């Protein structure tokens, strides 16, 4: 058989050039991919920080709060407690109590009416926190559970009192009747959903403030009894 002729040198030069060109193209594609990924991460981080800033601004404008901002589990902005209490709702109620006590067949009676203003809102022992997820562009604002902050006695109307023959009304019993009036007023407004109304009011006011800003995400409000802050 005739011996195969060796390939000309230009063939190997061509193979080498094609190989180098292929490697360069692959390297360029990888570099572009890395650059695009980095730019995407930067844009995502910037969008998350911008959204977090909008939420912080809305909380400051609406409630005077300075929340702690966490982005992807890391503290982005430290919070503070400019006020210890935030009153959200007020309710004025009037209640009447009929109180009697009988001893040895002698009955004493007190009929009293009082008007109260009940304030409900947030007890702010620690800053409100906002968690932002840069991937989903979703944020969660963590508030303490609303509670009754104060009960103010606006008026106590003249009481009708009747002592028994040997069962006289004592001063501490008048105090007890007033306490029962206050307990009745608070119990009734709680049963009517005062604290739930406070949650709705907070969400509504915050969303209304955010709607005026070019928001880039979705905000959820949670009301919790206690929350451990993440490590910076």
Q: How far apart are CA 225 and CA 151, in angstroms?
A: 21
25-39, 86-100, 122-136: range with highest mean pLDDT = 86-100
pLDDT at residue 29, as a whole number: 61
Q: How far apart are CA 71 and CA 132, in angstroms?
A: 5
pLDDT in tens, 167-189: 677 888 788 888 889 999 999 99
Specify the DSSP element, H or E, that contains 111: strand 106-123
Q: How far apart are CA 21 and CA 33, in angstroms?
A: 18
Strand order in the sheet with 68-71: 74-77, 68-71, 129-133, 138-144, 218-224
Comparing 166 with 204, the larger pLDDT belongs to 204
Q: How far apart are CA 142 and CA 160, in angstroms?
A: 48
Q: How far apart are CA 72 and CA 134, in angstroms?
A: 6
Segments making up each domain of the chain, as ranges: 47-224
57-61, 145-149, 208-212, 222-226: range with highest mean pLDDT = 145-149
Chain centroid to CA 173:
42
């Amino acid at each position: 058989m005739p011996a195969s002729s060796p390939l000309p040198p230009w063939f190997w030069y061509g193979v080498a050039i094609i190989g180098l060109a292929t490697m360069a193209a692959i390297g360029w594609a990888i570099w572009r991919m890395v650059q695009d990924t980095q730019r995407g991460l930067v844009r995502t981080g910037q969008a998350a920080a911008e959204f977090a800033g909008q939420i912080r601004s809305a909380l400051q404008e609406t409630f005077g709060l300075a929340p702690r901002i966490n982005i992807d589990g890391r503290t982005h902005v430290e919070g503070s407690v400019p006020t210890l209490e935030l009153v959200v709702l007020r309710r004025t109620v009037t209640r009447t109590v009929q109180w009697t006590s009988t001893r040895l067949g002698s009955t004493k009676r007190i009929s009293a009416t009082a008007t109260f203003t009940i304030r409900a809102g947030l007890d702010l022992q620690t800053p409100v926190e906002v968690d932002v997820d840069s991937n989903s562009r979703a944020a969660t604002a963590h508030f303490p559970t609303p509670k009754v902050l104060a009960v103010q006695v606006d008026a106590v109307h003249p009481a009708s009192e009747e002592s028994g023959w040997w069962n006289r009304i004592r001063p501490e019993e008048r105090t007890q009747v007033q306490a029962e009036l206050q307990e009745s007023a608070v119990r009734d407004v709680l049963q009517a959903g005062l604290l739930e109304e406070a949650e709705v009011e907070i969400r509504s006011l915050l969303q209304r403030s955010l709607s005026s800003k070019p928001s880039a995400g979705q905000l959820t409000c949670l009301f919790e009894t206690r929350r451990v802050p993440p490590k910076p």
